[in-house]
Chain A
Amino acid sequence: EVQLVESGGGLVQPGGSLRLSCAASGFTFSSYSMNWVRQAPGKGLEWVSYISSSSSTIYYADSVKGRFTISRDNAKNSLYLQMNSLRAEDTAVYYCARANSIADGLIQHWGQGTLVTVSS
């Protein structure tokens, strides 16, 4: 069974940093592209970032470009999101999401999410 477990969320002040982690199990992590998707309280889904299976291709949403960094450690079956210069509008539940084996943009599995609150 595919399992994605996020951690690292919490309360942080504006301008601060936070690192999210996602522990993957139940599949060959190194074979799949991964994404981070977020959802602000009471709002819709917003794609944040994509990383290919080998980390050779990385994309970011314009709203986080230059502030967030996605990475992965295939030896540890883990996905990360380093978030710097955080703003109030970054407050959201952050989901780790696995792509389909063939179609990288097809998000097939989701973690339960971790809440990030940016507030003074």
Chain B
Amino acid sequence: DIQMTQSPSSLSASVGDRVTITCQASQDISNYLNWYQQKPGKAPKLLIYDASNLETGVPSRFSGSGSGTDFTFTISSLQPEDIATYYCQQYDNLSMLTFGGGTKVEIK
């Protein structure tokens, strides 16, 4: 199985801050990496697909980068509505999709 290690597990930042989350795969997954946002009590929402592509309708302050085993998700200027838990997910191995452990983002 491909393990996805996401860090940090939680962070607190001020409105306007730049926020960065990392995700490391246990083996090379090329760019088969997605990022999801989940607000409390809601279903996850796709933000970034194939490591760096912004899903339609998602604000441009969200971005992703990386390939192989190391990936980064960035919020360029944190907004109050960005309070959520963020997950990475690999789909290099379709027979066993795996998610990172999640990063809970809070406002300081």
The residue in A61, A105, A112 that gathers the most chain B C-beta atoms within 10 A of its C-beta is A105
Tell me the chain B residues, 70-108 only, with Cβ under 8 Å from chain A. 87, 89-92, 94-102
1/0 per residue, CB under 8 A from B, across A81-120: the answer is 0000000000000010000100111111111110000000
Size category of the binding interface on chain A: 20 to 34
- Which chain B positions have C-beta within 8 A of A46? 99
- Interface-located stretch among B16-24, B38-46, B59-67: B38-46
Answer whether residue A26 sits at the interface, using C-beta atoms and an 8 A cutoff: no
Q: Chain A nearest CB: distance from B13 CB in Å?
A: 21
Query: Are B49 and A110 in contact, with the CB atoms below 8 A?
Result: no
Query: Are A35 and B97 in contact, with the CB atoms below 8 A?
Result: yes
- Which chain B positions have C-beta within 8 A of A59? 94-96
Query: Are A107 and B46 in contact, with the CB atoms below 8 A?
Result: yes
Q: Chain A nearest CB: distance from B29 CB in Å?
A: 10
- Which chain A positions have C-beta within 8 A of B52? none
Query: Are A105 and B97 in contact, with the CB atoms below 8 A?
Result: yes
Which 4 interchain pairs have the tightest Cβ spacing? A105-B91, A110-B43, A47-B97, A45-B99
Given contacts A44-B87, A109-B46, list 14 more A-B pairs with CB under 8 A: A45-B38, A45-B99, A50-B95, A61-B96, A95-B44, A100-B49, A103-B49, A106-B34, A106-B91, A107-B34, A107-B89, A108-B46, A112-B42, A112-B43
